[in-house]
């Protein structure tokens, strides 16, 4: 009788039928459809990104606008010349790591390559640090146009292939076939006849060969040397889970969290009901952490929540996806998990060093320094190092400052591809240049600008207008600097200063309190003063403020006090995250199922990320992991 009463009470609370009458206790669909009764496709996977501003194409429909070559811009604006600057608000590496995990929950453009748009690259650029690029260009392909757009008089639009909602779709996927493979049990296209738990061999994400034939595994993107070992790629709800070990780690964390919740539920529940309860809680946890820790700690202060608003479209905007949420400057160039001495054998340490990791010993502790390039496409490294230590390392150090500088591990990525007949293609994944491999260069900063032109982003000032901000009239009003002129400096060529590498020299560094630091300091620098102002370089490159690409202008802005953002990026985040909250019928503060789950089963979604980490790894972190420890 108690079981029947619990099931009936739960069904009454959430307004759905118990298992047996349409089976599931959750009515949040996998693909986001039906969230809004009047607009059932709002936020649904496979629908177009929305636009805040009119599309900006050279022909009004599809042709990309011209501008300064984007690698040229990158070399003069995004180039950090190896000097690290850190968050002025002491936001930890969890800022960028959670941001990426969240990004992979709400947006994924159609990745099928459309027209080739290779980015110009020249070794003759005086500011080019790579003199070899066997491909002669930086690879770039345009995003395919959504059906029926980019022709006639209809401007090009683009498809968001996943649900826009913050619903942990990166854990579960957005279709039955993927979820069926991820859940324990049979693989027949129907996840509802599977077990409540997710498949986690050894408590880590399943690899492509986990069910035998890797060719039947869901598609996943491959990164770096992983292309040589596709059968060992980790499989998760989102195709990008292998991108780096921090991201793979967060995917693993919430898959474990799902199984932990299932284990707490009474055994008389059906497997499907137990699964859906856990899924509902995990999705709410991700929302709760996002709105109560991640956003506030980065300085995003939304208006108070007033409940679900069916007139709000929660779809991801082109402007958010292509400009505002590209915070690649935040990404730290390495991870530094720390262990007690003796944690690893000498053989294990030697293996780490052969992979390109650095082993350091300090005060009875062992520090393993993992360069970002080694962390790409490397789920085995996560297992070898351990989930808890990797996640703990994210909170130990501040992330990089969200400014115009992008770490060279992203801005100038050297990659290698085996030549035909290469005797040992494995060595093409090594950080050492191999003569049997083709060498290429990729530049995320240049791609960010190019992608804006691809997607028809308005100019910087037009984007400001679209978000209710006044346009800027001078470069110094953007950067907050005193001049947009190059100085009279014997170190700079007065006849062609924009092409003189000395313009990027750092001449002073300061900490968060404004105290001077020795040049070359890599741990405490928050402010860096260069031989030339950013405003001067932007003026020399673009000529007019009205010609600025939106992304370049946005990252050049002086930050709003107490935040990680300039005024334009902050406005873009405010608008999008308010829409994701207010336009979601199942937002945690509006979902009647969550109080019912808490009352009936004692399971509460209101948990900090630190609590989730502790419960699933045994590792204790600082209470707010988004602020750097110490």
| Same-domain pairing of 505 and 416 | no
Q: What is the pLDDT of residues 348-389, one digit of tens each?
A: 999 999 989 999 998 889 999 999 989 999 999 999 999 999
Report the CATH number that the domain containing residue 285 is assigned in CATH.
Answer: 1.10.640.10
Residue 452: name the closest of 364, 572, 320 by CA.
Answer: 320
Asked which of 504, 532, 560 is the last residue of a domain, the reply is 532
Q: What is the pLDDT of residues 384-419, one digit of tens each?
A: 999 999 999 999 999 999 999 999 889 988 788 888
Triad 96, 101, 103: Cα angle to 5°: 90
Asked which of 468, 498, 532 is the last residue of a domain, the reply is 532
At residue 6 the predicted structure's pLDDT band, cuts being 50, 70 and 90, is low
Which of 21-30, 54-63, 236-245, 422-431 is predicted with the least confidence, judged by mean pLDDT?
Answer: 21-30
Predicted confidence at residue 24, as pLDDT, reads 41
Q: How far apart are CA 507 and CA 124, in angstroms?
A: 26
Half-sphere exposure of 44 (CA within 13 A, CB side): 12
| Same-domain pairing of 448 and 519 | no
216 phi, psi to nearest 5 deg = -95, -5
Q: Are 204 and 248 in contact (CB under 8 A)?
A: no
| Same-domain pairing of 228 and 355 | yes
Mean pLDDT along residues 245-273: 98
Q: How far apart are CA 283 and CA 387, in angstroms?
A: 21
Strand ranges (DSSP E) for 426-546? 437-442, 506-510, 516-517, 527-530
Q: Are 431 and 373 in contact (CB under 8 A)?
A: yes
Q: How far apart are CA 373 and CA 444, in angstroms?
A: 13
| Same-domain pairing of 500 and 576 | no
How far is Cα of residue 33 from the mean position of the Cα atoms in its chain?
24
Q: What is the pLDDT of residues 437-477, one digit of tens each?
A: 888 899 999 999 999 999 999 999 999 999 999 999 999 99
480 is a domain residue: no
Predicted confidence at residue 25, as pLDDT, reads 44
Predicted confidence at residue 154, as pLDDT, reads 97
The reported pTM is 0.95
Q: How far apart are CA 43 and CA 428, in angstroms?
A: 41
537 is a domain residue: no
Residue 550: name the closest of 388, 326, 391 by CA.
Answer: 326
Q: Are 132 and 415 in contact (CB under 8 A)?
A: no
Q: Are 26 and 279 in contact (CB under 8 A)?
A: yes
Predicted confidence at residue 224, as pLDDT, reads 81
Q: Report the domain count for the chain.
A: 2
393 is a domain residue: yes
For residue 9, pLDDT over 60 is answered with no
| Same-domain pairing of 411 and 525 | no
| Same-domain pairing of 502 and 438 | no
Predicted confidence at residue 114, as pLDDT, reads 86
| Same-domain pairing of 520 and 425 | no
- Percent share of the chain, pLDDT over 90: 86
253 phi, psi to nearest 5 deg = -55, -50
Predicted confidence at residue 113, as pLDDT, reads 86
Q: What is the pLDDT of residues 177-235, one digit of tens each?
A: 999 999 999 999 999 999 999 999 999 999 999 999 999 999 999 988 888 889 999 99
| Same-domain pairing of 506 and 363 | no
| Same-domain pairing of 497 and 593 | no
| Same-domain pairing of 366 and 269 | yes
625 is a domain residue: no
- Domain of 496 in residue numbering reads as 485-532
| Same-domain pairing of 380 and 501 | no
540 is a domain residue: no
| Same-domain pairing of 374 and 501 | no
CA 50, 54, 55, 56 torsion-angle sign: negative
Predicted confidence at residue 156, as pLDDT, reads 98
20 is a domain residue: yes
469 is a domain residue: no
Both tokens assigned to 536: 């001067």
Half-sphere exposure of 540 (CA within 13 A, CB side): 23
624 is a domain residue: no
For residue 109, pLDDT over 50 is answered with yes
Higher pLDDT, residue 46 or 438? 46
Asked which of 532, 566, 597 is the last residue of a domain, the reply is 532
């Amino acid at each position: 009788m108690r079981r029947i009463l619990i099931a009936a009470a739960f069904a009454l609370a959430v307004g759905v039928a118990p298992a047996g009458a349409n089976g599931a206790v959750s009515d949040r669909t996998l693909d986001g459809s039906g969230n809004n009764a009047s607009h059932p496709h709002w936020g649904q996977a496979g629908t177009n990104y929305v636009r805040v501003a009119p599309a900006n194409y050279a022909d009004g429909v599809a042709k990309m606008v011209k501008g300064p070559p984007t690698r040229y811009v990158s070399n003069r604006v995004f180039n950090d010349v190896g000097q690290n600057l850190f968050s002025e608000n002491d936001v930890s590496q969890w800022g960028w790591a959670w941001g990426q995990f969240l990004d992979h929950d709400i947006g994924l453009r159609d990745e099928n390559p459309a027209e080739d748009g290779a980015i110009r690259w020249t070794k003759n650029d005086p500011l080019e640090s790579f003199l070899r690029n066997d491909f002669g260009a930086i690879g770039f392909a345009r995003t395919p146009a959504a059906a029926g757009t980019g022709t006639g008089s209809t401007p090009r639009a683009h498809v968001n292939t996943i649900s826009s909602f913050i619903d942990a779709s990166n854990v579960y996927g957005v279709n039955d076939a993927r979820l069926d493979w991820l859940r324990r049990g049979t693989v027949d296209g129907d996840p509802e006849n599977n077990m409540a738990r997710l498949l986690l061999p050894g408590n880590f994400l399943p690899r492509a060969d986990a069910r035998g034939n890797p060719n039947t595994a869901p598609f996943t993107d491959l990164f770096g040397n992983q292309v040589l070992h596709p059968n060992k790629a980790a499989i998760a709800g989102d195709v990008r889970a292998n991108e780096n070990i921090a991201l793979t780690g967060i995917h693993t964390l919430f898959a474990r969290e799902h199984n932990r919740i299932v284990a707490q539920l009474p055994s008389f529940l059906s497997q499907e009901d137990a699964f859906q309860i856990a899924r509902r809680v995990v999705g709410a946890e991700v929302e709760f952490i996002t709105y109560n820790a991640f956003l506030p700690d980065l300085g995003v202060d939304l208006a108070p929540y007033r409940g679900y608003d069916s007139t709000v479209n929660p779809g991801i905007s082109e402007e958010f996806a292509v400009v505002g949420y590209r915070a690649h400057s935040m990404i730290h160039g390495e991870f530094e998990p720390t262990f007690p001495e003796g944690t690893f054998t000498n053989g294990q340490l030697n293996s780490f060093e052969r992979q390109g990791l650095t082993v350091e010993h300090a005060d009875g502790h062992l520090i393993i320094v993992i360069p970002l390039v080694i962390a790409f496409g490397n789920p085995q490294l996560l297992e070898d190092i351990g989930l808890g230590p990797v996640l703990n390392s994210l909170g130990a150090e501040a992330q990089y400052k969200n400014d115009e500088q992008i770490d060279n591990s992203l801005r100038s990525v050297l990659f290698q591809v085996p030549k035909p007949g290469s005797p040992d293609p494995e060595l093409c994944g090594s950080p050492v240049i191999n003569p049997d491999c083709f060498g290429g260069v990729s530049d995320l900063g240049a791609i960010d600008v190019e992608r804006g032109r691809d997607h028809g982003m308005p100019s910087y000032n037009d984007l400001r207008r679209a978000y209710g901000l006044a346009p800027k009239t001078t470069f110094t009003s953007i950067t907050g600097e005193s001049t947009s002129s190059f100085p009279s400096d014997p170190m700079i060529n007065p006849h062609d200063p924009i092409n003189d590498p000395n313009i990027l020299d750092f001449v002073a560094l300061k900490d968060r309190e404004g105290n001077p630091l020795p040049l070359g300091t890599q741990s405490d620098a928050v402010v860096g003063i260069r031989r030339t102002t950013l405003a001067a370089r932007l003026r020399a490159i673009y000529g007019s403020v009205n010609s600025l690409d939106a992304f370049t202008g946005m990252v050049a802005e002086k930050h709003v006090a107490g935040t990680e953002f300039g005024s334009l990026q902050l406005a873009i985040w405010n608008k999008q995250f308010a829409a994701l909250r207010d336009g979601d019928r199942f937002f945690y503060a509006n979902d009647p199922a969550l109080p019912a789950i808490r009352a009936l089963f004692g399971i509460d979604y209101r948990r900090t990320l630190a609590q989730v980490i502790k419960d699933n790894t045994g590792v204790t972190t600082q209470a707010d992991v988004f602020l750097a420890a110490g």
